[in-house]
Copies of this chain bind each other. A is one copy, B any other.
Amino acid sequence: MLALQSPLDMHLHLREQEMLQLVAPLSARSFAGAVIMPNLVQPVNSRDRLVSYRRAIVSACGTDTFIPYMTLFFREYTREELLAVRQDIIGIKLYPAGITTQSDAGVRDFDSIAATVSLLEELDIPLLVHGESSGFVMDRETEFLQVYAKLAGNFPKLRVVMEHISTAASLEFLERYNNVAATVTLHHLLLTLDDVAGGLLQPHLFCKPIAKTPRDRDALRQAVLQGHPQLMFGSDSAPHPRHAKECCGCAAGIFSAPVALPMLVQLFDGAGCLEALQTFVTGNAVRFYRIKPPEKMVQLRQKSWRVPEVYGTVRPFLAGQELQWSFADQDN
């Protein structure tokens, strides 16, 4: 038996309506809170939208032991707007325009954002960033490091989060800045491009940033297993209905919410590093974001179960595979 104290998912897509109803309880079961991404079909970029989206999430979760840490979609904000929303958000999420699902309203010119970024620094609001250039798909994250360098260097008191890092280069970069942290997904700890496109093509393992080389995967894995203080777990769990994944132009996103915590335990346990897991899923995030998640003990036991092929309309990560750890209250 293993008890995790208030595990957190620091990067989560919950969508809206039926999909929200389907996936929110699966995250609420595993985690004490999650950072909610704002890239809905209509971006969450006003306090009104934020409040109504949070209400929908709380209702869908059906528990008071799960906090949705809300984010606003980056645009030019005034000081007044930011002051008004400051207590309602954990940070602002910046997308380069067009780089991933529902990011058309993102930033096109990084030279034009200094005023808003400066306000974030002044008001101590963290900036969460999807860090990819529009270059060659395997180089996008590394090419974006120059933007991170400007953000972290020009705004030394701004807290910057490199979201879902996927390369050894990002890890090396991170270590040069005190004001920068990063989230790491489960799938980037497990996959390389070989898993996506080395045998048959696997749309359900297709995500952004795309899984990289074995060297990248191994560097990330080693860092989290050793308790790297700047790395926080963020699943980037992103459900799409099967028809959007198994088609002639397939959406990016891996739905890992229902398997994230058991698989993380399996990964850390298998490497003999279970003691680093609490740091990865709670400690680093609490310290960086200065949050106090609800007290919530999540218990897992070493009892195998088979991941369902589908949850509603969504095929989950590791579908059909046998995992070694399950939730203590789970009917295996």
A residues near B (Cβ < 8 Å) are 136-138, 192-194, 196-204, 206, 210, 213-214, 242, 245-252, 315
Contact = CB atoms under 8 A, between A and B. Distances in A.
A193 B135 CA distance: 11
A201 B203 contact: yes
Contact of A202 (B193, B199, B213, B249): B249
Given A136-B214, A213-B136, A247-B246, A201 B192 contact: no
Contact of A193 (B137, B200, B245, B252): B137
Do most interface residues of chain A lie in helix, strand or loop, or is the interface mixed?
Answer: loop
A249 to B, nearest CB: 4
Given A246-B246, A246-B247, A315-B248, A137 B200 contact: no
Nearest to A100: B199
B137 A197 contact: yes
19 contacts: A136-B194, A136-B198, A136-B214, A137-B197, A138-B138, A138-B193, A196-B197, A197-B197, A200-B249, A200-B252, A201-B203, A201-B250, A201-B251, A203-B248, A204-B248, A246-B246, A246-B247, A246-B248, A248-B315
Contacts of A315: 248
Given A197-B210, A201-B250, 8 more contacts: A197-B206, A200-B250, A201-B201, A201-B203, A201-B252, A203-B248, A203-B250, A246-B248
